[in-house]
Structure 1
């Protein structure tokens, strides 16, 4: 396998002790619901009974897609570069939410079809100025695909070396819901019509055109199921970088926060390469984009929030992050029955 990581199952050594610690808190068993499962997961991921979230950050990967020239998006391709400019100016939703919750934010040019001016918050990792139109040829070469994966992994390693142990991945790329739908269909065998959604806001006629284009795009390639072949044929540079980012984060026992449809499609590819990457992932929300709920079901992922979001950018991650803080806080700071001198549940 040309992509090599070491991602074993999470250790179960502390599972019983973590669960006992959770159960001894001053509450009925299970009364904190998903927060209890979240605390258990964070403790197992960081392999400690007293986890802490250090220097949490979001990496937003941006890239353009050749398939846009076939009319699959309600917005022109130039919007990708314009939104990157908005991120760097601090004017996007992810800027607002990341600042609100104390999340470090980096923007990565994975393959924007423009020359971007240097900026202290911008990381230049451009593989090319957008992918090819996969309606007529593969989106990228295998060499480009592997380069993107490795660059995503390197970026995570840099954040880890800077002290981060909790990381999330957002994206920006006009046309990338088309890529995500193709990845989902090829790797899950779920009908393409159930994977394709309205993206940036297509009307009914535009949605049918998008589906027809993507169905036509499948024909020349036959049945592709090998993850890297699917990714290089239909993916985007920003998606490929997220694949590498997930895999490196899991290898380093970092906690991964998953955003919406495109980010989940990248995780799908990563999980086909290394299934235990999912053990390290928290699903922040279920998107309003058609296909995401089915994809979460396929990945056995339980989302923390359902706010009908379909923005991307890592916005769902930033909104869900306080729940991770709450899970860690109750695990570390909430009194036990013994400490509070409160009678526990009768066992006789």
Structure 2
């Protein structure tokens, strides 16, 4: 960031520099698909997922040699308002559980042969209570986005992003409400399992936060700074870095798509390299995906977070690529093609 620029200037510049799809790669994939031993279109979305990999990797023969699942962990000052069923201590405990290999995401990554990294974003230092002031200042927001950008490892050929952080479904709902309007109650969900009273407290906290920041929410990056969290800022940075490095992205659930929504508000093409791993039952996730133009790969009634839905979707994508790469052509198999 240059000394004389506003904190968000470089983020806007990077968004403006995002590369587009590789049409030559798309043509190559479609040409091979046309001669594989199956009826045209018979594999449905599995075929378009391979096309998606190709156009955003810029490869006529796409790969999934180094898929990576990244989980970003943060903590939130708003939890003091009783918006979660679990205490803040769970943040550190879950990081330890990830390290010990005991979480659901550990098992899914092992099952599908996925790389896995967890990023501790000052987990013991909550962001500011959004009902009283900004979660982060602009410089801290950009620095956290930059950290997320640096988390995208060289050589990764597909990135799945997820998060962990007590209170972050409240934060995600606040971001959606600020970006798209409507009543806070429309956007909130049960999160970690709050009761009706907890659900009401979540809506009340969001309403108060929007009132506190009234007049400062017309810029999507301002929304991220004032209402977001470190894990959401880092995910936004990771999504953007992946685009710049031609790495396709699989988004997880309700909180991950809040990071995506900020980028989409900056540029409706900012998520063209992304797919939604699954439809979560948290909050209004179905509406979020519709607004972002994303069709979920899976719908399994999940609301766990920690990139679990995205990891499962990567398993489907690996299967799609295996069919495209390893299926015999009509000529190879000695099978008559379509007349």
- Aligned residue pair count: 327
Partner of 2:227: 234
Q: Separation in 2 of the partners of 1:327 and 1:100?
A: 17
Q: Separation in 2 of the partners of 1:176 and 1:252?
A: 28
Report the 3-state secondary structure (helix = DSSP H, G, I; strand = E; otherwise coil) of the residue aligned with 2:151: helix
Partner of 1:2: 10
Q: Separation in 2 of the partners of 1:247 and 1:175?
A: 24
* 1:284 aligned residue (277, 282, 289): 277
Task: Kindly indicate whether residue 177 of structure 2 is the aligned counterpart of residue 188 of structure 1.
Answer: no
Q: Separation in 1 of the partners of 2:111 and 2:205?
A: 40
Deviation string, structure 1 residues 71-115 (Cα, Å, up to 9, x no partner)? 1111111111111111111111111111121112111111212xx
Task: Kindly indicate whether residue 284 of structure 2 is the aligned counterpart of residue 296 of structure 1.
Answer: no
Partner of 1:38: 49
Q: Separation in 1 of the partners of 2:289 and 2:263?
A: 14
Deviation string, structure 1 residues 204-224 (Cα, Å, up to 9, x no partner)? 222122112211221122251
CA offset at residue 288 of structure 1?
Answer: 1.1
User: Pairwise CA RMSD of aligned residues?
Assistant: 1.5
Report the 3-state secondary structure (helix = DSSP H, G, I; strand = E; otherwise coil) of the residue aligned with 1:323: helix
The within-5 A match list for 1:31-70 is 31-70=42-81
Report the 3-state secondary structure (helix = DSSP H, G, I; strand = E; otherwise coil) of the residue aligned with 1:57: strand
Partner of 1:201: 193
Task: Kindly indicate whether residue 130 of structure 2 is the aligned counterpart of residue 134 of structure 1.
Answer: yes
Q: Separation in 2 of the partners of 1:144 and 1:249?
A: 21
Contact 1:50–1:331 (8 Å) recurs in 2? no
Q: Separation in 2 of the partners of 1:205 and 1:151?
A: 36
Check 1:274–1:247 CA distance in 2 against 1; reply closer, same or farther (3 A cut): farther
CA offset at residue 190 of structure 1?
Answer: 4.7
Task: Kindly indicate whether residue 327 of structure 2 is the aligned counterpart of residue 334 of structure 1.
Answer: yes
Partner of 2:205: 213
Q: Separation in 1 of the partners of 2:35 and 2:183?
A: 46
CA offset at residue 242 of structure 1?
Answer: 0.6
Contact 1:59–1:170 (8 Å) recurs in 2? yes
Contact 1:244–1:270 (8 Å) recurs in 2? no
Any runs of at least 4 consecutive aligned residues in structure 1 with deviations exceeding 6 A, and if so which? Answer: none
Partner of 2:253: 260
CA offset at residue 274 of structure 1?
Answer: 4.2
Partner of 2:148: 152
Query: What is the TM-score with the length of structure 2 in the denominator?
Result: 0.92
Q: Specify every segment of 5 or more residues in structure 2 that has no aligned partner in the other structure, as ranges.
A: 1-8
Q: Specify every segment of 5 or more residues in structure 1 that has no aligned partner in the other structure, as ranges.
A: 114-128
Q: Separation in 1 of the partners of 2:112 and 2:144?
A: 29
Task: Kindly indicate whether residue 262 of structure 2 is the aligned counterpart of residue 269 of structure 1.
Answer: yes
Deviation string, structure 1 residues 258-293 (Cα, Å, up to 9, x no partner)? 111111111111222344331211211110102111
